[in-house]
A and B are shown apart, each in its own frame.
Chain A
């Protein structure tokens, strides 16, 4: 819980990790990729306030105590979801697979959920694994990383026919929250790897599922916004927007937030720290303090009031994950977070 100026906020971090990217976990022969990946992440940490930067060594592998301190003690987070990211072609035990993340559930009882994953290229064995993960961990969501390598393959799309049984299985098991993360490599290499149009198709085909587009589709935020405004079950994951722009590029942060509020709406935007890339403390505090500047440049963007901030920082995601929120932290006016009917076409959007 975070309290500021007499207002109390329930903080739900919809995107964090407990990873091991230390050299001991690099697969022999794949060191350059394992090293490049974590160094790329570490560069993103450079967009945070300098006093929150870590050494690369610390960033490669941090302890359970670090996690508890950074997320729950200092970070104001009430509840969080691990977005398991496997990358087992590069890391021996994976970058942060479900098992590695789940080891923390008992350390912080009642505060953490873990999401699973699937990969259409795994076929029948993957479907069985998804069922097993659901039975064992009660997963309510998955994190899909479409640019993940697998043998000679360089990624996949949600519209691949092989993905349909997995989406159907999620629907059947009630694994409702599908977090999608686009990355720079996908086969074929001559196509735009960041294209989000596949999400548009499956969001229409699977109306019971929620599609949370991580880092709001960046670097294709325009395509993401045009899609999200028309699909009631597409949500914006704010990791990278808050972590990457709020401190380093405040003017662009204002504009990106303004566009998201206009096209996507405050009911469909979810805070995520992407810890350990960024520490939640400065993100939560900075976001609650943020106001759209009173400047002609930003004059026709919607404004975000305290209720809107409460939704984005926690109530929307808590709703999607069915996490109970204490009465004193719910919306003062009895409003409903994560309301799907907010997703009607905005005037002027077509």
Chain B
């Protein structure tokens, strides 16, 4: 195996970290400021330190981010070892130890779980899809599209930028239809939203958008207070 130059490897690792999402907020952990440190050695050893807005952020989401980070980094060609450490968290010791020995969530918290985190992850992917679809829909309406226009659009018409590609990705992960000819906006069961249904759907769906965005803003604020980084209101990515 040919060693990857360190600079290139670092770029690839950072790109990989950008694909790790906070499952609750549906935003990349790097954009949220949760990656405190990422060090890449010449031998392909990667050390990542994650930091969260409070010491008591929910352990289930904290574990998912740490485990997803480890998997994403290990998948980068040229990485020989990935050590992920969650710092300043009340279950950091349990989570870090489980990751270091290749264990899962149950191993981290024996007796405190009843199953895997798959159901939790799916629930929040569904929320994220609703939230992103609502934001897209509001944008199209603001540009002058009618509900009839929007109901007739397809996946191929999804706008570029952040939300369109992420919607496709979420639909793929949820097992919902996501081919170019499938409906652009779908209900939870994957069915097309009609023009008549759209206004009522949007009234509910945009509350999901607000929930995720507001939670994200509170997390950013708390992280800024905790680690002394800059804090400002921004439109969620």
A interface list, Cβ under 8 A from B: 32-33, 36-37, 39-40, 43-44, 46-47, 152, 154, 183-185, 187-194, 218-222, 225-226, 244-245, 248-252, 255-256, 259, 263, 296, 348-350
Partner of B214, one of A36, A37, A256: A256
User: Shortest Cβ distance from A152 into chain B, in angstroms?
Assistant: 8
Contact present for A47 and B225 (CB under 8 Å): yes
CB pair A221–B217 under 8 Å, yes or no, is no
Closest 3 CB pairs of A and B: A46-B225, A36-B55, A219-B215
B218 lies within 8 A of chain A by Cβ: yes
Partner of B222, one of A43, A183, A263, A350: A43
CB distance B210 to A252 under 8 Å?
A: yes
Contacts of B24 in A (CB 8 A): 219
How distant is A286 from chain B, measured CB to nearest CB, in Å? 16
Inter-subunit contact B214/A189 (CB<8 Å): no
* A189 lies within 8 A of B59 (CB): yes
Q: For A248, list chain B residues within 8 Å (CB).
A: 217, 221, 231, 233
The A-contacting residues of B in range 44-87, CB under 8 angstroms, are: 53-60
A-B contact count (CB 8 A): 121
Residue of B nearest to A186 (CB): B58
B203 adjacent to A189 (CB under 8 Å): no
Measured CB to CB, the residues of B under 8 A from A are: 24, 53-60, 90, 105, 109, 111-117, 119-120, 123, 127, 142, 199-200, 203-204, 207-208, 210-211, 213-215, 217-218, 221-222, 224-226, 231, 233
How far is the CB of A293 from the nearest CB of chain B, in Å? 14
Besides A46-B222, A222-B127, 14 other A-B contacts (C-beta < 8 A) = A33-B90, A46-B224, A183-B56, A184-B57, A185-B59, A188-B112, A188-B113, A189-B112, A190-B60, A190-B120, A193-B58, A222-B211, A249-B218, A348-B199
CB–CB B210/A263 < 8 A: no
| Residue of B57, B113, B218 ringed by the most chain A CB atoms within 10 A | B218
Is there an interface contact between A221 and B214, defined as CB atoms closer than 8 Å? Answer: yes
